[in-house]
Structure 1
């Protein structure tokens, strides 16, 4: 089994036909067919057959498709790491949800890299549902976001930072005068950041609990943009308590009181079990230190020369 064979097979799976795979790889159809035939002979499995609706994969063919992605990702990672090692540098790729990326990641990266002159950090934004696939394909080294629905074999999960999600509004908002009810909140206009998209995390959980209809939800490109809009629109917004502490203390925002105005959240780090001893395992341990907590809550950000954002924003798809 060769890398060329796996790459050809993965392309067939991804594009749905030998012809499309050949075009994507810049090969002839006969070359792609030859690679697939070699895999069939070596594995003793037909892998797939053609049907009127496209390709029909055997159970073994589906398993190979998954493994091919993992192996190709591992090869790309190895090539990158060998190249960087030759240059005396390391690269840590973090995938995180939008809420953590915007509010806590800059401080964390600053604290973690301040004593590591040979380390660059690449940060990409993803939905929590994508984390397992990204880790197994080696597209990222560490995933940070809300708790996973259930334990996953081969993946280490560690909760490291709990936070309170509170509901805020501009001073003078009608709902700020007295304790609110779930009914009055459901009728309000909610100004939201990208964290509201999807099913995982504290923001979607609060929206479900209150029963906010989609017609009353307005989503902005960032949490900061949603909070800024509070000063121009009579809306309410969920916010992480430590992120708005100064605005609340200065009276620029007010915290709503009453039913369904808070939600408890927690961030979890996840990495592959066999990555022990790696930079991702080192960061996973660092997440539990008091220095990391202070940095995430109060961090000022990392210098641009140390931070290489690779923002693959899939939140709007």
Structure 2
């Protein structure tokens, strides 16, 4: 018996099919079937009623699933149990959206390493939707994402870390142009609606009745910023203050009132690595505060020097 086979059994029960369970845990459908067959041979019972189109747990299957969940919960709590009061230890598997990785995450991880040298944090990148699914199926302990937008995996909880404001960004030097005019006159570079922030932007455009001439759909904020800097169009993005202060762009508030997105730390409801995640959340907040203070000062100084005016209405 392997922990991976038990996680696969849990994924089948959660997702309702071998194929969807395989997608959730990163295995093929045939590999999932082999793992289930191995468990059945080991325990000498049939776990699923195979006479039906979709897999349904037998009574023995429900017993094994319940015990499997207990075993996995105990295993996932081992790193926390090894921690002492002064220093955290163990391993934390975390995913993060690109803006967090290029923003507060490096500083937060450096602070964590200094404070807790026995804690190992493994970090991967992804879009919010993908990362939420990986947290839900136990592949990740936690993820730094946009606040979930329905539909999202069930049994997730989140803690707010910081918030970004949404801006219409356009090439520099456009003076007093307003949001509606820029969207009507210039090509629109859309932030992929598969991302939760992309869905928020699409909804607000519809609500405000703003028409766009879409020419690109991209899933990287960094790439979108570069495209706009080269004069290839306009876009709407959630931007941290640190990025806004450095951007050589025309930036106008987007939304009425200006939209904000919360960036959160996603965990499963059982929170097996709660102490480690709390330490990570505190480090991210501290790193974001350290970045935001000088960025806000630079932004205010730049506005005074340039005498720019940011429209308060959507035009």
Select 2:250's aligned residue among 236, 241, 254: 254
Aligned to 2:222: 224
C-alpha distance 261-60 of structure 1, shift in aligned 2 (>3 A) = farther
Task: Tell me the equivalent position of 1:159.
Answer: 160
The CA distance in 2 between the partners of 1:69 and 1:131, in whole Å, is 24
> Of 289, 299, 302, which residue of structure 2 is paired with 1:294?
289
Structure 1: how far apart are the matches of 2:5 and 2:31?
12
Cα deviation digits, residues 142-200 of structure 1 (max 9, x gap): 22222235899865422121221211211245xx542232x75256323356xx34252
Give the aligned partner of residue 123 of structure 1. 123
Alignment of 1:148-187 (within 5 A): 148-149=148-149, 155-173=156-174, 176-181=175-180, 185=183
Separation (CA, whole Å) in 1 of partners of 2:200 and 2:116? 38
How far 1:105 sits from its partner (Å)? Answer: 2.2
Q: Deviations over 1:210-236 (max 9, x none)?
A: 247797152446322221122323311
Distance 1:69 1:186 in 2: 56
Structure-2 separation of matches of 1:114 and 1:282: 12
User: For residue 56 of structure 2, what is the aligned residue in structure 1?
Assistant: 57
Does the CA-based 8 Å contact 1:8-1:36 persist in structure 2? no
Match for 2:30 among 20, 23, 28? 20
- Cα pair distance change 1:237/1:81, threshold 3 Å: same
* TM-score between both structures, scaled by the size of structure 2: 0.63
CA 1:283 to 1:208, structure 2 compared with 1: closer, same or farther past 3 Å? same
Query: RCO greater where, 1 or 2, for CA within 8 Å and sep 6 or more?
Result: 1
Report the alpha carbon displacement of residue 106 of structure 1 after superposing the two structures with TM. Answer: 2.2
| Change over 3 Å in CA distance of 1:226–1:47 after alignment to 2 | same
- 2:196 corresponds to which residue? 200
Give the direction of change, closer, same or farther, for the CA distance of 1:111–1:93 in structure 2 (3 Å limit): same
Q: 1:103 to 1:260 in 2, by over 3 A?
A: farther
Count of residues in correspondence between the two structures = 274
| Contact map agreement 1:95 1:125 (CA 8 A) in 2 | yes
2:260 equivalent to 1:264 = yes
| Unaligned runs of at least 5 residues, structure 2 | 23-28, 295-315
Distance verdict in 2 for CA 1:221–1:66, change over 3 Å:
farther
Q: Which residue of 2 aligns with 1:143?
A: 143
1:234 counterpart = 2:229: no
Tell me, in whole angstroms, the C-alpha distance in 1 between the residues paired with 2:39 and 2:271: 33
Aligned to 1:275, what secondary structure does the other structure show?
Answer: coil
Could you tell me the TM-score, scaled by structure 1's length?
Answer: 0.63
Deviation at 1:244, TM superposition (A): 3.0
Does 2:192 correspond to 1:188?
no
Which secondary structure state, in structure 2, belongs to the residue aligned with residue 107 of structure 1?
Answer: helix
